[in-house]
Structure 1
């Protein structure tokens, strides 16, 4: 049996509690009550969330035999720093807990308690630069879904906490159980910690269905050459109209957007497969491995080989 304690700070975001469902379903899939969850706060009693809803908690100092502590984030950690009691508590429990995790901006609480000193960590990208400025001794990686550095786990934005929780389940109960949980929760994939917080498709965010349809078509056909005429036909527009509308809705040309989609697809293949780079370049529509390297350097500042080494490490 594995005991998980959630430390809720004042104004915590309720989305952080959604990760508890991952552990709930892990028990169902495993066919036993492996995880036992409890909510705590420094003072105990009802702890108010960012929505104003109170959640019943136990006083943290009464906690006993907690294997994993999870700290939920708040809306703006710069305006809501942790209390001295919360920091002192975390400094004490880290000695006995198997692991301590932070969801989203909960990483600031760990940082304020000194638990991230000289460690790799991530947080929501909006506050990553602030964290690096306030805590220069931390190696903040602002473009990662989650990071595991020894017993300390940190995740990016709120939904990334689900990926972190699922990774814990995989570590504790194995790949088969974690896949079963993901299937039950309709999580389409288990994102590795090294994945980027950003998606090229989300960044583009076209406003009309016709441009969205063209983008979906492009994403499904990246392995071959794609022309403006072909995409325009998919959007039921003339090539000239398509280019104009596409640029107005996405802020970039069709050619630049397609390059971004190829870059994202190649990055995902590097993170999730062991295919040679030549095959990845071909499958994602780059002319060759050299062309892919040029685009990687422009887009990420590192070549594909370096990204692969980082993911494997």
Structure 2
């Protein structure tokens, strides 16, 4: 591990959704337990005062510091949870308290990255942090977000979206997916996968995702599938036809197709292409390699094949993806 302590501030306010607060804290805590790196993260809960905060679940939570104290610190990640209210027609509305919005804006200016959980996206929007960006939120308030803030490109489908240094998450339990993605960005996807396994969840859910999610396949249900996935990963630039995979697994092609459909819900060809796109995505984010080199390293015969795969899987091009997601060095 790097030994770098990353300071994470999670906002607290009356009526906040409890899991929005405790979910991310649990992920970052599990990271430290799983890796033995006690200096990986320092999570602090911040509120307007040090008085207990009553969450939407009725559970009272004690802040670690005030908003004013947090504003004196350099923050690595600001986590902004959300809160909702229900009107007389049983319609759900996100709550945007002006005081909280003020502190979101203030603390965001001292943060390297900002992430909202569920309807916390409405607080980011009210603070002007999502203008000109693509964002997601809980499906029940997505229309409200789009109507209240036309400068935001709202997409209710993804589990989470990253646009530069601003992240937004969807439903309440998506706080776990989002937090795992932050761990993956900080310490790599292998480490994040270890944490995901402790949570007994996917690092990437098998549906409802977009190009902004951190892709990882569903956990295999048999040792044979685990071996096939490992073989594909280790030979991503080579020949990975159904015949090649069947020969490696010492089974017929018909059996191979049946195993993939039963355990992963897709054909071997679809899985291999997804795995190659994932490797290409990582290279585009972390290197300056040419598209030709990226295509070759991922097993795509030509740049055109790479581009077509990106359009199918991510609805974008490799060049567009790199322009938005290339990590700064």
* TM-score, normalising length: structure 2: 0.64
Within 1, Cα distance between the matches of 2:137 and 2:302?
Answer: 35
- Answer yes or no: is 1:154 the counterpart of 2:135: no
Are the equivalent residues in 2 in contact too, given 1:103–1:154 (CA < 8 A)? yes
Are the equivalent residues in 1 in contact too, given 2:160–2:178 (CA < 8 A)? no
Gaps in structure 1 of 5+ consecutive residues: 168-177
Partner deviation per Cα, 1:163-220 (whole Å, 9 max, x = no partner): 55897xxxxxxxxxx7xxx49x95589xxxx973142523xx5543322321221121
Are the equivalent residues in 2 in contact too, given 1:5–1:70 (CA < 8 A)? yes
Other-structure match for 2:289: 275
Alignment of 1:167-178 (within 5 A): none
Q: Structure 1 residue 59: deviation in Å?
A: 9.3
Within 1, Cα distance between the matches of 2:284 and 2:109?
Answer: 31
Q: Structure 1 residue 139: deviation in Å?
A: 3.2
Task: Choose from 39, 46, 58 the match for 2:46.
Answer: 39
Q: What CA RMSD, in Å, does the superposition of the two structures yield over aligned residues?
A: 4.5
Are the equivalent residues in 1 in contact too, given 2:81–2:116 (CA < 8 A)? yes
Structure 1 residues 97 and 143: CA distance shift in structure 2, 3 A? closer
Task: Choose from 126, 141, 147 the match for 1:113.
Answer: 126
Structure 1 residues 97 and 299: CA distance shift in structure 2, 3 A? closer
Counterpart secondary structure, 1:107: helix
Within 2, Cα distance between the matches of 1:155 and 1:88?
Answer: 21
Other-structure match for 1:222: 236
Within 2, Cα distance between the matches of 1:155 and 1:163?
Answer: 11
Within 1, Cα distance between the matches of 2:7 and 2:301?
Answer: 52
Other-structure match for 2:18: 12
Q: Structure 1 residue 73: deviation in Å?
A: 2.9
Other-structure match for 1:172: none
Are the equivalent residues in 1 in contact too, given 2:47–2:65 (CA < 8 A)? yes
Gaps in structure 2 of 5+ consecutive residues: 1-5, 195-209
- Answer yes or no: is 1:308 the counterpart of 2:322: yes
Within 2, Cα distance between the matches of 1:113 and 1:42?
Answer: 22
Structure 1 residues 265 and 125: CA distance shift in structure 2, 3 A? farther
Within 2, Cα distance between the matches of 1:200 and 1:187?
Answer: 10
Within 2, Cα distance between the matches of 1:96 and 1:230?
Answer: 54
Counterpart secondary structure, 1:255: helix
Within 1, Cα distance between the matches of 2:305 and 2:125?
Answer: 44
Within 2, Cα distance between the matches of 1:301 and 1:77?
Answer: 35
Are the equivalent residues in 2 in contact too, given 1:5–1:66 (CA < 8 A)? no
Structure 1 residues 312 and 71: CA distance shift in structure 2, 3 A? closer
Alignment of 1:288-303 (within 5 A): 288-303=302-317
Are the equivalent residues in 2 in contact too, given 1:18–1:162 (CA < 8 A)? no
Figure out how many residues of one structure are paired with residues of the other and give that number. 282
Q: Structure 1 residue 71: deviation in Å?
A: 4.2
Within 1, Cα distance between the matches of 2:217 and 2:323?
Answer: 26
Other-structure match for 2:115: 102
Counterpart secondary structure, 2:217: helix
* TM-score, normalising length: structure 1: 0.67
